[in-house]
């Protein structure tokens, strides 16, 4: 391999941490959601990197399922955001504090 | 430097740059557009890992379907202009510190991984079949048939759930 597998893994780790950072510091629920998608993509990249290293296609099947679950999650999550926006008129996660405590 | 190395660094830089824009920029619309860039450069990285099928799926499902959904919701909520300001607070500093610490921990464990030579790729027949639609499809419809069918049920439940949650009056 021209590019060692470690490079791909470090890239995936950086992408995952950027996603985690977005989830922790952003207040717009939509952007938090996009950051979750970034984290899912980082997991996918790790699956594919190990699949390439070991010559095992199971990693590709796992990535396929992650993409399918991400699609389902995006549909339901965005529906929840729309429902929350309808009742509260905001998507700021710091103003949504009914379920705190 | 081979073409593969150049392409890897190009795609990696694009991925990280656009992912950073997603996290930093205030307008949700710019975040969504930047996210499309992340997905496209990640598809390039997947091709470098010989995962052609997953790369095509990435562009179709993520950059196509999921991003259209995001843009649609942004337009629907008319959030394009407003965005909460970014104030520096203790909890945010804590969050940033946690993300950096997580990256350090991951980096430490990744660098400890043993380097294995990919001897299997020397076999031209195996290397040619790796990651093609043919081989991935065969795997999905034999070893992973049950999870595959379960995913179809999951998608159906997600469609019904999304309609029930988002519709104000059924």
Residue B82 in this model has a pLDDT that exceeds 60 = no
Out of A11, A28, A55, the one facing B126 most closely (by C-beta) is A55
DSSP state of B120: G
Distance from CA of B43 to the nearest CA of A (A): 10
Q: In the structure encoding, which two tokens stand for residue B140, read together?
A: 């999905």
- Name the region of B95 (left: φ>0; alpha: ψ -120 to 50; beta: rest): alpha
Residue where the block lists tokens 């992650």: A66
Q: Do B102 and A20 touch (CB under 8 A)?
A: yes
Contacts of B22 (CB under 8 A, 6+ apart): A18, A22, A31, A34, A35, A38, B31, B34, B35, B38
Tell me the chain A residues in contact with residue B38 when contact means C-beta distances shorter than 8 Å. 38, 41
**Per-residue b or e along B68-98, where b marks 16 or more CB atoms closer than 10 Å to that residue's CB:** ebbbebbeebebeeebbeeeeeeebeebeee
Residue B21 in this model has a pLDDT that exceeds 90 = yes
Q: SS3 of A24, please?
A: helix
- On whether the CB atoms of residues A18 and B23 are closer than 8 A, the answer is yes
pLDDT at A91: 84
CATH topology of domain A5-96: Helix Hairpins (1.10.287)
- On whether the CB atoms of residues A45 and A17 are closer than 8 A, the answer is no
Is the domain covering B3-79+88-116+123-167 a CATH 1.20.120.1200 domain?
yes
Residue B32 in this model has a pLDDT that exceeds 70 = yes
Task: Identify the band that residue B77 occupies on the pLDDT scale cut at 50, 70 and 90.
Answer: confident
List, as ranges, residues 88-147 from B with C-beta within 8 Å of A: 92, 94-96, 98-100, 102-103, 106-107, 110-111, 113, 115-116, 118, 120-121, 126, 130-131, 135-136, 139-140, 143-144, 147
The pLDDT tens digits of the residues spanning A43-77 come to: 999 999 999 988 889 999 999 999 999 999 999 99
Could you tell me what percent of chain B has a pLDDT over 90?
A: 65
pLDDT at B122: 79
Q: SS3 of A87, please?
A: helix
pLDDT at B85: 58
In chain B, the residue whose alpha carbon lies closest to the alpha carbon of A35 is B23
Mean pLDDT of chain B: 89
B51 phi and psi, to 5 degrees?
A: -110, 65
Domain extent listing, chain B: 3-79+88-116+123-167
Tell me the chain A residues in contact with residue B154 when contact means C-beta distances shorter than 8 Å. 68-69, 72
pLDDT at B152: 95
Tell me the chain A residues in contact with residue B151 when contact means C-beta distances shorter than 8 Å. 65, 68-69
> Minimal CA–CA distance to B154: which of A68, A4, A83?
A68
B60 touches chain A (CB under 8 A): no
A88 touches chain B (CB under 8 A): no
The pLDDT tens digits of the residues spanning B106-154 come to: 999 999 988 777 778 778 888 888 888 999 999 999 999 999 999 999 9
The pLDDT tens digits of the residues spanning A2-58 come to: 788 999 999 999 999 999 999 999 888 899 999 999 999 999 999 999 999 888 899
d(CA B163, CA A52): 39
Mean pLDDT of chain A: 90
The pLDDT tens digits of the residues spanning B101-112 come to: 999 999 999 999
Stretch B69-89: mean pLDDT: 74
- On whether the CB atoms of residues A61 and B136 are closer than 8 A, the answer is yes
d(CA B162, CA B115): 45
Residue B169 in this model has a pLDDT that exceeds 90 = no
Q: SS3 of A28, please?
A: strand
Domain extent listing, chain A: 5-96
The pLDDT tens digits of the residues spanning B43-69 come to: 999 999 999 999 999 999 998 899 999
This complex has an ipTM of 0.91
């Amino acid at each position: 391999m021209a590019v060692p597998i470690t490079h791909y893994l470090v890239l995936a780790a950086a992408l995952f941490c950027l996603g985690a950072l977005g989830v922790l510091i952003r207040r717009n629920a939509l952007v938090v959601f996009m950051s979750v998608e970034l984290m899912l993509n980082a997991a996918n990249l790790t699956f594919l990197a190990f699949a390439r290293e070991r010559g095992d296609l199971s990693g590709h099947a796992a990535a396929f399922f992650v993409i399918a679950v991400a699609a389902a999650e995006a549909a339901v999550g965005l529906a929840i955001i729309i429902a929350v926006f309808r009742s509260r008129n905001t998507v700021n996660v710091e103003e949504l504090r009914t379920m705190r405590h | 430097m081979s073409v593969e190395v150049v392409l890897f660094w190009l795609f990696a830089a694009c991925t990280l740059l656009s992912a950073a824009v997603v996290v930093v920029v205030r307008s949700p619309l710019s975040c969504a557009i930047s996210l499309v860039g992340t997905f496209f450069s990640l598809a390039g990285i997947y091709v470098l890992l010989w995962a052609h099928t997953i790369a095509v799926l990435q562009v179709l499902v993520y950059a196509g379907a999921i991003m259209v959904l995001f843009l649609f919701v942004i337009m629907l909520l008319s959030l394009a202009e407003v965005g909460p300001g970014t104030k520096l607070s203790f909890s945010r500093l804590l969050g940033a510190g946690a993300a950096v610490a997580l990256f350090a921990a991951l980096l430490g464990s990744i660098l400890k991984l043993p380097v294995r030579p990919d001897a299997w790729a020397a076999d031209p027949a195996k290397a040619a079949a790796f990651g093609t639609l043919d081989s991935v499809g065969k795997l999905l419809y034999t070893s992973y048939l049950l999870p595959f069918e379960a995913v179809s049920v999951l998608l159906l439940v997600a469609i019904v759930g999304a309609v029930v949650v988002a519709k104000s009056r059924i």
